[in-house]
Amino acid sequence: MGMIIRFVQRLINLFTSARFVVKGNSMLPTLGDGESVVAVRSRSSWNRLVRGDIVVFRHLEFPDRVFIKRIVGFPDEQVRVENGAVYIDDVFLEEPYLDGQEGGRQDLNRTWWNGRGELFLVGDNRQDSQDSRTFGPVDGGMILGRVWLRCWPLGAWEMEPGRG
């Protein structure tokens, strides 16, 4: 029965989803330049986002660009980056999806406070990503969808990429 329910959910997602192409290397090793993903566009899914989800969004400073990043911080949380490590409300964030790569610029030591409705979004390739560490928390209303499928290249199909 569970498989039938999941199948119906995925079928519904086909009609409430959109395909996006990854541009650049900011999500390596999870997603690479030129790969395509499908994101659920439903506004009701915003409440079901969890830490570690990959989302597609726009940013007010770059209205013509679409970004694909990972959620590390939620509304009303403090996000601290210290020597490449991420802390949420002073608790170290385990990030298994980084697959042992460096956590980012070692010279970046900064703290952000997410306001109401704001998310802290970062790329998996912390050395080469323009993200919330650059432009600050992102308003949740700018989220276009949650990535649930890598669909291109064909041999790399994966449900919820980067979830392990």
Catalytic residue among 17, 26, 129, 132: 26
Residue 102 contacts residue 84 (beta carbons within 8 Å): yes
Beta bridge partners of 56: 68, 145
Catalytic residue among 17, 45, 69, 132: 69
State yes or no: is 26 an active-site residue: yes
The answer to whether 150 and 158 are in contact (CB under 8 A) is yes
CB 132 within 8 A of CB 108: no
Q: Is 23 a catalytic residue?
A: no
CB 124, CB 147: distance < 8 Å: no
CA–CA distance, 88 with 37 (Å, rounded to integer): 28
Residue whose entry in the numeric block shows the structure tokens 């990503």: 129
Residues designated as active site: 26, 69
